[in-house]
Structures are given as structure tokens and as C-alpha cells.
Amino acid sequence: MGNKLSPLSKAFLVLIFLILYAPIFFLVFYSFNSGGTMYDFKGFTMDWYKELFKDTRLLIIVLNTLVIALLSALIATVIGVIGAIGIRSFTSSKAKNTVLSLNNVLIVSPDVIIGASFLILFTMAGIKLGFYSVLLSHIAFSIPIVVLLVLPKLQEMSPTLIDAARDLGASRWDVLTKVVLPYILPGIFAGFFMALTYSLDDFAVTFFVTGNGFSTLSVEIYSLARRGISLNINALSTLLFVVTLLLVIVYYFITQRVRQTGMGGKR
């Protein structure tokens, strides 16, 4: 195990990282191009960023995307935690596995299927395509991942903790809010965060259920990109990249803290 990486292996890893990051830095680099194309760098400019912040339509779309992401992540986390507690309380392992498989259907289903079936669902239920249909779909496809991230925390919690609280006279509600929820909090945070990134990242499902008049960033970028290159998108992607990096750093520190408290030692 202790053997060092050979130069060839190192070169291979460097190449992989280069390929993974090159397109992203490529976008960032040309967002400063005064030439207006994604080749032939003419000179440094911040014009595309200025234009971006003047584009009220786009800013509204950014706002829509954020509202949808935060709301859907919040609601999905609440329902997901309820679901995880429910699954945990099953005594028969057969029922548990059935519910878990149902839970995982939306995780393994291709986006196109989810999008198409939700489109049928909303049309039959008479829900107008727009804000609410997008919000409902985002809640729906974020719930299973919250369940999957909360469940292990619940399972590692010793049942004696609950028994002890009950013996000491805690009501069911007290047990839930003062014992169970604090214990599984890291799982809840991880679930919320994942739901947030799922929602921000989604294109296919939203594309199906968005209808006219309402748009999220992914759908907007798609229609812009189909028309060709526009350096506004580059400026936008630079900002998104920075936001993503910040989210990743936050997530990294949350999981690091979880690991620390989990192992009870430093690092």
C-alpha cells in the first residue's frame, strides 16, 4: 500500500483532472473576452457581467430558481425525515424493504421518465404548468435522497436512548424533538443540502413540467445555448461556479464535523 505513485500514474491523474476542469475554466476565461466569441481572446472586459446584472428577465429567472430550490429542499427535508422515521419504525423487514424500494424508484428512474409521467399527472390533476408544477416535481424527486441520507443516522442511534427518555417521563413529542431530531441533525443537513443541489441542477424534469411563462436557469441556458454562443452565459456560469464551490466547501465542513463527532477524535 505504501508504494509511491509512479510518474506515469501521476501523469494519468493530472490528465484526468485537467480534462475534468478544462471546460469549466474555459468558460470562465472567455467570460472576460471583449471579442464576443469563445475563440480569439481580444482583451479583458467586465462588460458581460455588467450586461448580466442589467438583464432583469434573467435576474427574475435566477430568483425563481433560488426560491424553487430553497422551498423544495425545505419541504422535501421535512417529508423525508418523516418518511425515514416511519421506515425505521417498521418491525417486519419485508414491509421495510418494500417501502425502501418504492422510495428508491425516483432515484434510479431516468429524468425523462420522471418528467413525462409528472407531465401526465399534472395535466390529469388539472394543475396549471408553471411555478407550482415545478415546485411539486422538485419536492417529489428530492424526498428519496433525504430519506436515504437520514435513515443511516436513525439506524445507528441506539434504541436505549429513546427508552431512557420515555422512562424519564418524556412525551412522544419530547422524544422526537429533544432526542431523535438533535441526534440525526447531521443527516438532516446533508439531506437538505443534497435536495438543494438536486433542485439547482435539474434540467430534464423541469423542462417537461415548466410550461410557458415560467423558467428556471437550466431551462433558460438550454434555450440560449440552442441559439448559439453568447458570452452572457459564460459570465453566468462563472458566477454559478463560484456559488457551487462555496456550497461544496460548506458541505465539506459539515461532513468533516460529522466525521469528527462520529469518531470522537480530532480529524
Comparison of 108 and 168: residue with beta carbon closer to another protein? 108
Comparison of 67 and 98: residue with beta carbon closer to another protein? 98
Give min distance, CB of 181 to another protein, in A.
13
Give min distance, CB of 47 to another protein, in A.
18
Comparison of 165 and 218: residue with beta carbon closer to another protein? 218
Give min distance, CB of 133 to another protein, in A.
12
d(CA 129, CA 219): 14
Amino acid at 259: R
d(CA 230, CA 26): 14
Comparison of 90 and 131: residue with beta carbon closer to another protein? 90
Backbone φ and ψ for 74, nearest 5 degrees, come out as -65, -50
d(CA 234, CA 231): 5
Give min distance, CB of 264 to another protein, in A.
19
Comparison of 70 and 85: residue with beta carbon closer to another protein? 85
Give min distance, CB of 168 to another protein, in A.
19
